[in-house]
Each structure stands twice: as structure tokens, then as C-alpha cells.
């Protein structure tokens, strides 16, 4: 693979820079500048994996839809310069992008685009060195952007031009294929449970007591597992494994320095396009079985399970309540369907709506995140319970990650079936929804099934 910034976008960026800087001075805030052109398709995973690690980089890939996005050399956009610090962080991200994008200058076939990421619980102040580079939330403007839909591909160069910044910064070059072919996943991996079985049982017992007392209706509890390998984990190979095994999921990776958060999420938090919003309630699950007969029986048991249908209904109702103020109409099927992934069956209800004018995907996220599918209900009580009882902070696990165009259209997924990798170490996460009749043993087994995607990708099984 050979890929470099083309002369045309660079020249256009330099030509438009003085105009962008004048606008930045006039409005006293940064102005987004983007210049793009069509290009030949390239391998998005290789492009991400070969990028320099000292600058933020992002991969977004949905194999089944033939959609890919790679953002390199991410420039962190300042939030406090355009929004009130008193706003909750998700709302600040939405307001920041709205303020910056309204004056954006663009040339070529790609609109300006930013990448947004949020922790599961931005209010959780417990320190964790693993997640320190990511913070509680970020809005990144990729300096180099590659986007693909089927056989159509484009590249662009982007910048946030600040008042007084009269000349372009040095433009970066795209990675080349000079690195060696990725090696197979290391087989010598030691695993450590960070939440032991006794800890898990006690957490669930406390949750069941809170539910019985009426303090909670549902809470999602998460396990964490640490992996240590003899050699650094081969991230490119891991991403290829995830894409091959889970083609209907969103394979994502965001690298900040030497730390990479990656996974294959089955859950879309929100997609906004041309004034419509689409999301999905995904709650209630069963591990896949080895034989077709047992697997069919597991799916039918899930479909008829009162416990899982109750858990699922709580998520549907929370999404309905969150989206109603943003929409002129909502479409919600009366019954969930069973969606089967490679490792688990899920109950799923697709939800769509017509948005009020000017509503962006980040406005939707500010209302939805975190849903009861990953947090619980009532939301604040569930989050407080998780902060108190879970021993390992989640960081961006079960958080929100995705992209947004200048128009406000975009897509955000929930950071599930995921883990954090740093050289020879990795930390994986898996969660389960706890309701009144949850069983700790069954929930432990369900979490084991949810660990599988990352274990297979990183450790070969």
C-alpha cells in the first residue's frame, strides 16, 4: 500500500487558510478548514496500523456495509472556548461542534468531520492510569482523513485555524506499507481476573437488595480481566480478526500514544442522517451453543424469557423518553427480535424517528448516553451504585465513540466487546444487566461469552 497526501488538497488548504484565519479573528474562535478529493481505495486497517503512534488516530469499520473511516493526527478541539463549563460533558461536545462547524470552510467531496469519544460515566472521578490519556471525553479533528463507501473513496486534509494563526502548520504525509506483515496473535498469554467470582457474587447481591428496596429497577455490572503477553499484542492482526469474525459489528480503534482502545461493537447508540435518527435497544442475551439444535433452543429461550424481556423493555422505554423531546415522531416496534452474533444472541428493538430541525447526532447522544443497556435505571441511581461497587473504573468501555459531519449527521456506537491495549498488556471488559431475578452464576457465564471476541482477537482464543 502506498498512500500520501495529494498536492491538490494541500494547495487548496494553503489557499483558503488566510480566509479561515480572518473568520477566526472575526468570531474569536477556531474555524474548521477541510479540503478533499477522490482517491483509490486502500486497506483501512493497514492505514490505521501503520500510522505514527505519537498523534491520536482512529479507525471505524463496518465490513458488512463496506464503510470505513480512518482519521490520523487528530487535533483535540478545545471545549471551554465555545461552551459553558457548567454544561454536562456530552452537551458540551455537541455545543462545541455546532459552534465550530457553522463557519467551516470546505472544498471537495468530503464534508468536514470530527471524531467524538466519551467515557461511560464522565462524572466518575476515580483515577485510573490506563485511561488517563483518553480523559472523560474528547472531540478530535483528524488532520488526515480517509473515508470509504464501497468502491468510492476520498481523502482530505483538515485543520482548526485559530485567530492569529496566519500560516498553515506543517502538513503530514500518509503512512506507507514499509512495515512488516503483522504476526499471529501471541499464544503465551497470562490472564488475571480483576473482579473475582466472590466479588461478582457480592456485587450482584448488593444490586438485588437495592432492586428489592425499590432504589433500582436495573443495573449493569461489569467484570474486568487483564492479559499479559510475552510480546506486544499485534493490533493489526487483532483488528483483522474482529472484522472477519464480526462483519455486522462496528470494528473500532482509537489510539492515543501507545495506548489503543479497540473492539467490535454490536450496539449503535445513534445514527443521524438527513433529519432522521436510528438507534437500537439491545438488552437481554444468551451465549451461543455448540450444536444447531441447542443454539436454536437458546435463542427461543431468550425470546420467551420474562427476565430478559423485562430488562429489554426498560431500555426501550428509556430510549423512548430520551428521544421524544428531540423528535416530531417515533417508530418503535411492539416486540423485540433475536439478533445473533458469533458469540451471543441478543434481544433487539430497532427505533427510528424524525428529528426537529438542527438536531445533531451529538445532541441525541447527550440525551441517550448512557442508556440502561449499559448503565441501568433510574440512571443516576444506577451510576452512583456502579461508582460505589465496581472496583475497576470503566473508562471508555461502554462509552460512546463515533463521528460527526459539519451538518450534524453522523454515527455513534457504544464501546462494547472491547479492551484497552498497551504493548504487552491488555484490559478487557464485559458487563451484564442485573434485574430482580438475576442469577450470579448465569451472569458470570454470560460475561464469559462477551469476553470471547477480544480474547480470540488478542490471544487466539
User: Taking the chain, what is the end-to-end CA distance rounded to the nearest angstrom?
Assistant: 30
Rounded distance between C-alpha atoms, residue 251 and residue 263, angstroms: 6
- Of the residues 236, 241, 267, 443, only one is catalytic, namely 267
User: What are residue 136's DSSP bridge partners?
Assistant: none
> Is 307 an annotated catalytic residue?
no
Angle, helices 361-368/306-323, rounded to nearest 10 degrees: 130
Closest CA to 342 of 223, 242, 233: 242
Give the DSSP H or E segment for 108. none
User: What are residue 123's DSSP bridge partners?
Assistant: none
420, 277 contact by CB (below 8 A): no
Tell me the three cell numbers of residue 199. 466479588
**Residue 6 pLDDT:** 45
List, for the chain, all residue ranges whose pLDDT scores fall below the cut of 50: 1-6
> Is 390 an annotated catalytic residue?
no
Rounded distance between C-alpha atoms, residue 363 and residue 56, angstroms: 24
**Residue 185 pLDDT:** 57
Give the Å distances, CA to CA, from 22 to 78, 406, 425: 19, 20, 47
CA 400 to chain centre: 4
Rounded distance between C-alpha atoms, residue 353 and residue 350, angstroms: 11
- Of the residues 218, 236, 411, 456, only one is catalytic, namely 218
Query: Which residue in the block uniquely carries the three cell numbers 438488552?
Result: 283
**Residue 201 pLDDT:** 97
CA 91 to chain centre: 17
Rounded distance between C-alpha atoms, residue 146 and residue 223, angstroms: 35
Bond from prior residue into 69 cis (ω within 30 degrees of 0): no
**Residue 444 pLDDT:** 96
Amino acid at each position: 500500500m502506498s498512500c500520501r497526501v495529494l498536492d491538490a488538497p494541500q494547495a487548496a488548504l494553503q489557499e483558503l487558510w488566510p480566509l479561515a484565519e480572518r473568520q477566526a479573528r472575526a468570531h474569536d474562535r477556531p474555524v474548521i478548514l477541510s479540503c478533499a478529493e477522490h482517491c483509490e481505495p486502500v486497506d483501512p486497517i493497514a492505514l490505521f496500523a501503520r500510522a505514527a503512534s505519537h498523534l491520536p488516530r482512529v479507525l471505524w469499520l463496518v465490513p458488512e456495509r463496506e464503510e470505513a473511516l480512518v482519521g490520523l493526527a487528530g487535533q483535540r478541539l478545545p471545549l471551554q472556548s465555545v461552551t459553558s463549563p457548567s454544561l454536562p460533558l456530552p452537551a458540551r461536545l455537541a455545543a462545541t461542534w455546532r459552534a465550530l462547524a457553522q463557519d467551516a470552510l470546505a472544498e471537495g467531496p468530503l464534508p468536514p468531520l470530527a471524531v467524538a469519544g466519551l467515557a461511560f460515566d464522565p462524572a466518575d472521578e476515580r483515577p485510573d492510569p490506563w485511561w488517563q490519556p483518553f480523559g472523560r471525553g474528547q472531540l478530535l479533528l483528524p488532520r488526515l482523513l480517509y473515508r470509504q463507501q464501497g468502491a468510492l473513496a476520498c481523502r482530505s486534509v483538515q485543520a482548526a485555524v485559530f485567530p492569529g494563526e496566519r500560516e498553515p502548520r506543517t502538513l503530514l504525509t500518509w503512512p506507507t506499507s514499509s512495515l512488516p506483515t503483522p504476526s499471529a496473535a501471541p499464544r503465551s498469554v497470562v490472564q488475571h481476573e480483576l473482579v473475582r467470582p466472590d466479588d461478582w457474587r457480592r456485587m450482584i447481591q448488593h444490586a438485588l437488595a437495592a432492586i428489592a428496596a425499590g432504589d433500582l429497577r436495573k443495573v449493569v455490572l461489569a467484570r474486568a480481566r487483564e492479559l499479559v503477553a510475552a510480546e506486544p499484542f499485534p493490533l493489526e492482526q487483532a483488528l483483522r480478526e474482529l472484522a472477519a469474525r464480526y462483519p455486522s459489528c462496528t470494528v473500532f480503534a482509537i489510539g492515543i500514544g501507545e495506548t489503543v482502545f479497540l473492539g467490535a461493537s454490536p450496539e449503535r447508540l445513534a445514527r443521524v442522517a438527513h433529519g432522521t435518527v436510528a438507534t437500537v435497544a439491545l438488552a437481554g442475551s444468551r451465549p451461543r451453543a455448540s450444536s444447531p439444535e441447542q443454539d436454536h433452543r437458546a435463542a427461543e429461550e431468550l425470546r420467551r424469557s420474562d427476565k430478559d424481556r423485562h430488562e429489554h423493555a426498560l431500555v426501550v422505554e428509556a430510549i423512548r423518553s430520551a428521544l421524544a423531546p428531540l423528535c416530531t415522531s417515533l417508530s418503535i416496534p411492539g416486540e423485540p427480535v433475536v439478533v445473533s452474533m458469533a458469540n451471543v444472541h441478543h434481544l433487539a428493538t430497532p427505533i427510528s424517528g424524525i428529528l426537529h430541525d438542527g438536531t445533531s447526532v451529538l445532541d441525541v447522544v447527550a440525551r441517550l448516553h448512557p442508556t440502561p443497556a449499559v448503565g441501568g435505571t433510574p440512571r443516576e441511581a444506577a451510576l452512583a451504585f456502579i461508582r460505589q461497587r465496581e472496583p475497576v473504573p470503566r473508562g471508555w468501555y461502554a462509552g460512546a465513540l463515533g463521528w460527526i459531519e459539519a451538518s450534524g449527521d453522523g454515527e455513534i456506537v457504544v464501546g462494547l466487546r472491547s479492551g484497552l491495549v498497551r504493548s504487552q498488556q491488555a484490559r478487557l471488559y464485559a458487563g451484564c444487566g442485573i434485574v430482580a431475578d438475576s442469577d450470579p452464576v448465569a451472569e458470570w457465564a454470560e460475561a464469559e461469552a462477551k469476553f470471547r471476541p477480544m480474547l480470540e482477537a488478542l490471544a487466539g482464543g
